[in-house]
């Protein structure tokens, strides 16, 4: 159980808790940096793409892994997924319309497409990970 | 889940066997600090480690670990 680095179950548990705590602190700080640079310094969205990508990978990677390894979250049926999509897409579209007004149709690839496709990807990924996680746990129980 | 408190007689069992914390920790494959914290009731070991400690000290699991007020 003990290796040459003196790592046992307690030190692993401590490391896990510490990593969990600082992961969320890092995510919060990154989000803070993002908002500060975007709304206080007024930097263009395109210049913040690197931080956005890192933050998205961190948050969605964490949530996806939790969903998969946990295997306890409900897997939505088609009706549930459509309702969730409707709420999310409505929220994103509504907030964007209030904040920026109606965008020109010619700019649909940067406006309507992400607002409508983003929530679909989120709901789809959630359903996929929840289903995979549930299947993984049920396979382990059957073995 | 109810927040249960655990107690143990690891220190007594270890002394009965004439072992130091270091010797027990080496046999169990954990650090001496982990043994010290278990004895002080400051760390709840996994079932795997509980079983290992019970085997090393020659005790049964329920002789070594129990829920507070439930023995």
**What is the mean pLDDT of the segment spanning B9-37?**
95
C-beta atoms of A1 and B43 within 8 A: no
- % of residues, chain A, pLDDT over 90: 48
Q: Are strands B65-67 and B6-8 parallel, antiparallel or unpaired?
A: antiparallel
DSSP H stretches of helix in B1-71: 10-16, 21-28, 32-39, 47-57, 61-64
Residue of chain A whose Cα is closest to the Cα of B42: A10
A2 to chain B, minimum CA–CA distance in Å?
5
Q: What is the pLDDT of residues A3-39, one digit of tens each?
A: 667 788 999 999 999 999 999 999 999 999 999 999 8
- Closest CB to B28: pick one of A1, A6, A11: A1
- Closest CB to B46: pick one of A6, A9, A11: A9
Cα A77 to Cα A8, A20, B12, distances in angstroms: 43, 31, 56
Domain that holds residue B42: 6-59
Residue B66 lies in a domain: no
CB of B69 within 8 Å of a chain A CB? The answer is no
A119 to chain B, minimum CA–CA distance in Å?
35
**What is the mean pLDDT of the segment spanning A44-51?**
90
C-beta atoms of A2 and B31 within 8 A: yes
Q: Does the structure's ipTM exceed the value 0.85?
A: no
CB of A11 within 8 Å of a chain B CB? The answer is yes
Which secondary-structure segment (H or E) carries A95? helix A78-100
For residue B54, give the CATH number of its domain.
1.10.260.40
* Residues facing A6 on adjacent strands: none
Q: What is the pLDDT of residues A74-104, one digit of tens each?
A: 888 999 999 999 999 999 999 888 888 888 8
Which secondary-structure segment (H or E) carries B8? strand B6-8
Residue A143 has pLDDT above 70, yes or no: yes
Domain ranges of chain A: 1-70, 71-143
The CA distance from A69 to A111, in Å, is 35
Residue B64 lies in a domain: no
Residue B70 lies in a domain: no
B15 to chain A, minimum CA–CA distance in Å?
22
**φ, ψ of residue A47 in degrees (nearest 5):** -75, -15
Query: What's the structural domain count of chain B?
Result: 1
């Amino acid at each position: 159980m003990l290796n040459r680095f003196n790592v046992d179950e307690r030190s692993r548990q401590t490391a896990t808790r510490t990593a969990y705590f600082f992961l969320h602190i890092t995510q919060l700080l990154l989000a803070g940096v993002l908002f500060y640079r975007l709304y206080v310094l007024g930097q263009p969205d395109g210049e913040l793409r690197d931080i956005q990508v890192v933050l998205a990978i961190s948050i969605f990677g964490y949530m996806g892994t939790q969903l998969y390894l946990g295997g306890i979250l409900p897997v939505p049926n088609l009706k549930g997924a459509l309702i969730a999509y409707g709420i999310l897409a409505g929220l994103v579209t509504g907030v964007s319309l209030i904040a920026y007004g109606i965008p020109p149709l010619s700019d649909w690839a940067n406006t309507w497409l992400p607002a409508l496709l983003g929530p679909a990807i989120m709901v789809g990924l959630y359903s996929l990970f929840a289903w995979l996680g549930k299947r993984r746990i049920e396979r382990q129980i059957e073995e | 889940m109810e927040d249960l408190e655990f107690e143990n007689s690891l220190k007594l069992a270890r002394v009965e066997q004439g072992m130091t914390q270091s010797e027990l920790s080496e046999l169990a494959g954990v650090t001496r600090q982990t043994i010290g914290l278990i004895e002080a009731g400051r760390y709840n070991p996994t079932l795997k480690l509980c079983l290992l400690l019970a085997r090393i000290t020659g005790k049964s699991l329920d002789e070594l670990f129990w829920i507070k007020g439930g023995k």
